[in-house]
Amino acid sequence: MTNNRQPLILLTGATGYVGGRLLRRLQEAGCRVRCLARRPEYLQARANEHTEIVGGDVLQADTLADVCEGVDVAYYLIHSMGSKKSFVEQDRIAAANFGAAARAAGVRRIVYLGGLGESDAKLSPHLASRHETGRVLRESGVEIIELRASIVIGSGSLSFELIRSLVEKLPVMIAPRWVRVEAQPIAINDLLDYLLQARDVTAEGNPVFEIGGKDVVTYQDLMEEYARQRGLTRHILPVPLLTPWLSSLWLGLVTPVFARIGRKLIDSLRHPTTVQDDSAYRVFGIETKGLAAAIEEAIRYEDREFRETSWSDALAAGGSLRQWGGLQLGSRLIDHRTKHTTVSVACAFDSIRRIGGERGWYCANWLWRLRGFIDLLAGGVGMRRGRRHPVDLRVGDVIDWWRVEKIDDNKSLTLYAEMKLPGRAWLQFDVTEDSGGTVIHQTAIFEPRGLWGRLYWYGVYPLHVLIFTGMLRGVVKASRKDA
């Protein structure tokens, strides 16, 4: 069967964490996919030849008229928790609009990902809205498969990044009572297996399937297991005094979660999110991982490649990570800068390819040499290694104290630091075509090792501002000169 004859799958939320991972799995399976996005240009780089990107907004019913035409199965992975407006009302309107459009177009099935939590309990607005969204979709008359999950364990997921940030930053944690609430976390790859099977699984009556990993644990168990695998000693002291509002401000200071989302999230953490009905296992037959294996997989994935997708990428998040200059606060510390140039993509990347060695780093080379000398004194490699060839680069090549981890010709270059550092560091360049020229993206990534790693980053950050700004400016200037 050719791809053009395969059933068409509509994917919403592809800019988000789960949706982005699901898009990749669908494409790897050779599926024909249509992605709905408010900003289609954000997804173009992720689409293959079998994926169509269309513009639309579930909050505007008139933009959905043609989106569902010819669709067999639609994935509904949209949530407005990060919105400044009432996310409950927005989620209700969005689900009603989408359900109506799907019914009018004859969509066979909608697969919806919601959240665990006992339906008869007085749930937080966040969890109650997740359940209500499923109900509104069922009222559309389209067949619905609703999956309800607890914490998703995977590099880049909101819950996992929250846990990671707390453990990495705080040797001693004064924690609210919710750290002892039970949950049943599921590994991202196990969740994706459920979502993929949900397209064709035999089920009647618009069922709700509760899904989770093998282990029922507390949030404290999560933090302690992450600390164990990272080789960190951490002490957790639960206290009963932190209100959701105070907890959200606290999270906003030490994690990548900004306070608006933090308040809504914390309010939900007081509810147990465990599987009460095991019908999902009987129907799907998926053997899920336990907590230790899920965390190990998340850490191992991040060792291979920087996060493929992240909760903060989602346009529906309605906010962004806090930024100081180019600095973004998260489990990894990131300095991201962009600059437009009128030269071609190939010309811009050629200047990036020549970086280091005798050509230098385009800015403050004396500072680079000084830092290399300090590294030598500390027993590191310093700047003495240079590079194998002034132009040619291959994966594994040395560039001063960096090593080429990944190179995609005329597109991206990722360097891994082999100097002495209280953590791990990468320098990444991405080049994209833009109207009238090229955009160069320069990203410095640092994964600190405990408190000392963070003190190091913040201590040298003023120098980073000078060096990273000047380096990007120098790359652009060199590309114009060589054009």
pLDDT range class, residue 67, cuts 50, 70, 90: very high
> What CATH class does 3-307 carry?
alpha beta
pLDDT at 427: 93
pLDDT at 27: 94
Torsion of the alpha carbons at 97, 98, 100 and 101, rounded to the nearest 10: 110
Q: SS in 3 state form for 120-177?
A: CCCCCHHHHHHHHHHHHHHCCCCEEEEEEECCEECCCCHHHHHHHHHHHHCCEEEECH
Handedness of CA 293, 296, 300, 302 (dihedral sign): positive
Token couple for 408: 């995609």
For 46-50, 125-129, 444-448, which range has the lowest pLDDT when averaged over its residues? 125-129
Would you say 277 and 116 are in contact if contact means Cβ atoms under 8 Å apart?
no
Report if pTM > 0.85. Answer: no
Residue spans in the chain of domains classed CATH 3.40.50.720: 3-307
Q: For the residues 220-224, what does the mean pLDDT come to?
A: 91
Closest CA to 211 of 185, 233, 245: 185
- The 8-class DSSP code of residue 241 comes to -
Which residues contact residue 62 at a Cβ distance below 8 angstroms, ignoring those fewer than 6 apart? none
Question: pLDDT of 93-132, one tens digit each?
Answer: 999 999 999 999 999 999 999 988 876 657 777 788 889 9
Superfamily of domain 332-482 in CATH is START domain (3.30.530.20)
Which residues contact residue 392 at a Cβ distance below 8 angstroms, ignoring those fewer than 6 apart? none
Strands across the sheet with 398-399, in order?
A: 323-324, 327-328, 333-341, 437-448, 423-434, 412-417, 402-408, 398-399
Closest CA to 13 of 111, 102, 96: 111
pLDDT at 415: 93
Chain position carrying tokens 């293959």: 48
**Alpha carbon distance 350, 225 (integer Å):** 45
Q: Considering just the CA atoms, what is the radius of gyration of the chain in Å?
A: 24
Q: How far is CA 425 from the centre of its chain?
A: 19
For 21, the enclosing helix (H) or strand (E) is: helix 17-28
pLDDT at 307: 44
Higher pLDDT, 164 or 132: 132
238 three-class SS: strand
pLDDT range class, residue 319, cuts 50, 70, 90: very low
For 24-33, 225-234, 368-377, which range has the lowest pLDDT when averaged over its residues? 368-377
Residue spans in the chain of domains classed CATH 3.30.530.20: 332-482
Task: Give φ, ψ of 143 to 5 degrees.
Answer: -60, 130
Say if residue 317's pLDDT is above 80.
no
